[in-house]
Amino acid sequence: MLTLAIIAFVSLPIITIFIQLFLGPGESWLHVVKNLLPDYTVNTVILIVGCTILTFLFGVSSAWIVSRYHFFMRQPLEWLLILPLAIPSYITAYAYAGFFDYGGTLELLLRVLNINPYKFDVMNIYGLIFVLSISLYPYVYISSRVVFRYQSSRLIEASKMLGASEFKTLLRIVLPLARPAIIGGLILVLMEVLNDYGAAKYYGVQTFTTGVFRAWFSLEEPSTAIYLSAILLVVVFLFIGLERWQRGAKKFTFSLKSEAKLSKLKVSKQSQFVLFIIVGFPVLLGFVLPFFQLLYWCVLTFSDVASAGFYPIALQSLGIAVSASFLTVIFAVFVLYFPKWNRIAILKQSSRIAVLGYAIPGAIIAIGVMIPLLSLDKLGIEIGKTYFDADIGFMINGTVFILIYAYIIRFLAVAFNPIEAGQLKLKNCLSESSRLLGKSPFKTFLNIEFPLLKPSLIGAFILVFVDVMKELPLTLILKPYHINTLAVKAYEFASDEMIMEAALPSLCIIATGIVPIILLNRLILK
């Protein structure tokens, strides 16, 4: 029963959207299909293709260079390449918009150097591709680096002995073996691109996600928003299914025990300089420039923004992120262990449903959560009036509980994957010995497995915490009126053309993300 309850808990948004499709679209659906849907489709496809190419180039090249070569500043750059994840893509978009704007930082620097200022227009779809790519390439970099660090050195040596060059070996041996990791990183990039709202809205690019918000808030037609959400959901699963179909029955394995760790090559000083430039370029664009742009704005506007009302927002954002992360880790443990303890064979694989949440953009999850809980609230109001002659109002919607519930569904897969990886490393003989000594599955988990899973649980908590602090579309739809977050506050400043004032909440989000990401890097190295 608990396993079935978890399945219902996680799959609620998808079931809701599926049922709502049979109720028909809103009155504006034909107008949307005729005038808006073509732009949504074309822009979304261009974003996906552009971001896929750039994140692949940035992520894979950086991962291979730091894994294969000795060069100046290699070790610092190895973890600095992860730091763009600490800056949400919409905040990077604000920073670059100000950096290239009229009277912006670039123009001031050029004037100081007595160079005629040149205007770079980034407020378009190509600027959006650039911003999203330099923000999201660490997903590809992290997944690729883990594989490259333990790539088969013997296979590469055999390729060299057969006369293949370093570049040909990379193309014919290394990249095909690393394909699952690279594709996994690119799929995460795809999810984030489809989930983006803040950057696309600020740059004026119409995508499916901005269309969902427009239908929900401007047209006031939830049914039209649901139809757009369904199309977006089909696109997500189509990409995942297409990759698995193309992979076919191929399997990719390597053994850490039988294969030598990839050795690093020493190159000339000129080559080291070139490698340093290639690897340092995404760090400069993805973290250094946006960070110092925000820092400059923060110095200028700190006294105006850091008022008495700002600190409660920071505390609210921190409290919501900690609560959501803690509960998400608990539910991830439930999802992993309840099917494992279940005697019903058909439910053994039900934990796979946990990965669906991260594949669904936040705006869709928000809609899928709000509609059934709104009906539940209305039922409670009717019962209160009928049987108790009391107007109890909304008990669920408009509260922080629905927001945390949506966060749990959205980021359950983020917590589930590292915990599952940690659990697979535990030897079965430990839990089996405990069971033979008469201990229940729960006591076995509490006394034997839980202490051994602590590193994985901490890693899962860190990952969810960083994602919750950055999440914008879901929070915009579901947050209560009396509660605000740093992400929403930065978005509100930018929407009101007070982009410099958005620097302080943006830097707070970055500060809360840098330390967890550094800890995450240490976990990867271990």
* pLDDT score recorded for residue 132: 94
**Residue 470 to residue 287: CA distance in whole angstroms:** 15
pLDDT: which is higher, 52 or 371: 52
Q: Is residue 462 within 8 Å of 415, Cβ to Cβ?
A: no
Q: Is the pLDDT of residue 255 over 70?
A: no
Between helices 450-470 and 503-525, what is the axis angle to 10°?
150
**Residue 147 to residue 155: CA distance in whole angstroms:** 14
Average pLDDT of span 59-69:
88
Identify which of 136-140, 352-356, 478-482 has the greatest average pLDDT. 136-140
Domains in the chain, ordered, with CATH? 2-525 (1.10.3720.10)
Partners of 69 in the β-ladder: 265
- Quick one: pLDDT band at residue 224, thresholds 50, 70, 90? confident
Write out the H or E segment, with its range, that includes residue 265.
strand 265-266
**Residue 170 to residue 64: CA distance in whole angstroms:** 9
235: CB partners within 8 A, 6+ apart: 44, 194, 208
Q: Which residue has the tokens 């690019």?
A: 205
In the structure encoding, which two tokens stand for residue 400, read together? 């922080």
* pLDDT score recorded for residue 58: 94
Lowest mean pLDDT among 17-31, 287-301, 327-341, 462-476: 17-31
Average pLDDT of span 461-489:
86
Q: Is the pLDDT of residue 124 over 60?
A: yes
The pTM is what?
0.82
* pLDDT score recorded for residue 213: 83
Q: Is the pLDDT of residue 35 over 80?
A: yes
Q: Is the pLDDT of residue 56 over 80?
A: yes
Lowest mean pLDDT among 139-143, 148-152, 312-316, 506-510: 148-152
Average pLDDT of span 316-339:
89
* pLDDT score recorded for residue 524: 59
In terms of Cβ atoms closer than 10 Å to its own Cβ (0-12, 13-18, 19+), residue 255 is: exposed
CA angle 483, 485, 488 (to 5 degrees): 110
Q: Which residue has the tokens 């680096």?
A: 145
In sequence order, what DSSP letters do the residues of 105-167 get, joined into one string? HHHHHHHHTT--------SSHHHHHHHHHHHHHHHHHHHHHHHHHT--HHHHHHHHHTT--HH
* pLDDT score recorded for residue 244: 67
pLDDT: which is higher, 57 or 244: 57
pLDDT: which is higher, 69 or 346: 69
pLDDT: which is higher, 45 or 176: 45
**Residue 357 to residue 361: CA distance in whole angstroms:** 8
* pLDDT score recorded for residue 283: 93
- Quick one: pLDDT band at residue 130, thresholds 50, 70, 90? very high
227: CB partners within 8 A, 6+ apart: 21, 25, 26, 29
**Pairs from 17-25 (Cβ < 8 Å, separation ≥ 24):** 17/226, 17/229, 17/230, 17/233, 17/364, 17/367, 17/368, 18/230, 20/223, 20/226, 20/371, 21/226, 21/227, 21/230, 23/223, 24/223, 25/221, 25/223, 25/224, 25/227
Average pLDDT of span 14-41:
83
**Residue 200 to residue 209: CA distance in whole angstroms:** 9
* pLDDT score recorded for residue 53: 95
Lowest mean pLDDT among 118-127, 207-216, 230-239, 275-284: 230-239
Q: Is the pLDDT of residue 511 over 80?
A: yes
DSSP-derived 3-state class of residue 69: strand
- Quick one: pLDDT band at residue 258, thresholds 50, 70, 90? very low
Average pLDDT of span 485-513:
87
**Residue 354 to residue 125: CA distance in whole angstroms:** 33
Average pLDDT of span 235-264:
63
Q: Is the pLDDT of residue 153 over 90?
A: no
In terms of Cβ atoms closer than 10 Å to its own Cβ (0-12, 13-18, 19+), residue 126 is: middle
Q: Is residue 517 within 8 Å of 96, Cβ to Cβ?
A: no
Average pLDDT of span 248-277:
70
Share of the chain above pLDDT 70, in %: 90
Share of the chain above pLDDT 90, in %: 15
Average pLDDT of span 13-24:
79
- Quick one: pLDDT band at residue 152, thresholds 50, 70, 90? low
The pLDDT tens digits for 298-327 are 988 888 887 767 888 888 999 999 999 999
Average pLDDT of span 209-216:
84
* pLDDT score recorded for residue 127: 93
Query: Residue 165 phi/psi, 5° resolution?
Result: -75, 170
**Residue 394 to residue 415: CA distance in whole angstroms:** 31
Average pLDDT of span 71-89:
86
In terms of Cβ atoms closer than 10 Å to its own Cβ (0-12, 13-18, 19+), residue 257 is: exposed
The pLDDT tens digits for 405-439 are 999 988 888 888 778 777 776 777 777 787 788 88
In terms of Cβ atoms closer than 10 Å to its own Cβ (0-12, 13-18, 19+), residue 307 is: exposed
**Residue 468 to residue 490: CA distance in whole angstroms:** 15
